[in-house]
Amino acid sequence: MKKGSDIKLSSVERSIIENAIRDIKDFPKEGIIFKDITTLLGDKEAYAVLMNHLYQRYKEYNLDYIAGIDARGFIFGAALAQMLHVGFVPIRKKGKLPYTTISEKYVLEYGVDEIEVHIDAFKPNARVLLIDDLIATGGTANAAAKLIKQTGAECIEACFVLGLTFLEGIKKLQEQTDVYSLIEVN
């Protein structure tokens, strides 16, 4: 029997998921090929394949929470949390959470942004899976992993549907936690 970390996408699963993601050229600016997951979400077979794969991978991880990064990480994270019978915690853009928060700034291509989480989002020593749709340069994901640690919880792994390996965000994030990308784009 495979351990969770040994469970990878089969070639059929990969094909179903990849074929459900739409490429949009020159969005949000010229020269960029945007990976649009809305078509994946609207494809019931592809979304089911994705969520079943994530469930199979993480069901033995003994997780306490799934933390989803604003906003697409909420879509996968909340559904997976329900499937695994664990809590879901949103990591939001600054100013969106109603209670006392801690925050972490990160560098964007042209500036700085900030995300935050409630100070009591996780119980002490909680085992947390961080999830989002895509990792590029890794700024947001690194900030989110730092926030999880600041609350006294442990980021067991960071999971992404797509990993843009040529931007090296995965390498940077691996300094903090294990990283799993279902599909890597070179």
Tens of pLDDT, residue by residue over 152-179, are: 999 999 999 999 999 999 999 999 999 9
Would you give the distance in Å from CA 136 to the centre of its chain? Answer: 11
Catalytic residue list contains 30? no
Give the domain CATH number at 153: 3.40.50.2020
130 has a pLDDT exceeding 50: yes
Domain assignment of residue 164, yes or no: yes
* DSSP bridge pairs for 29: none
Whether 131 maps to a domain, the answer reads yes
Q: Single out the catalytic residue among 109, 114, 154, 175.
A: 109
Count of domains for the chain: 1
Active-site pick, 13, 14, 72, 154: 72
| pTM for this model (two decimals) | 0.95
**Strand 154-164 relative to strand 111-118, pairing:** unpaired
Residue 72 is among the residues annotated as catalytic for this protein: yes
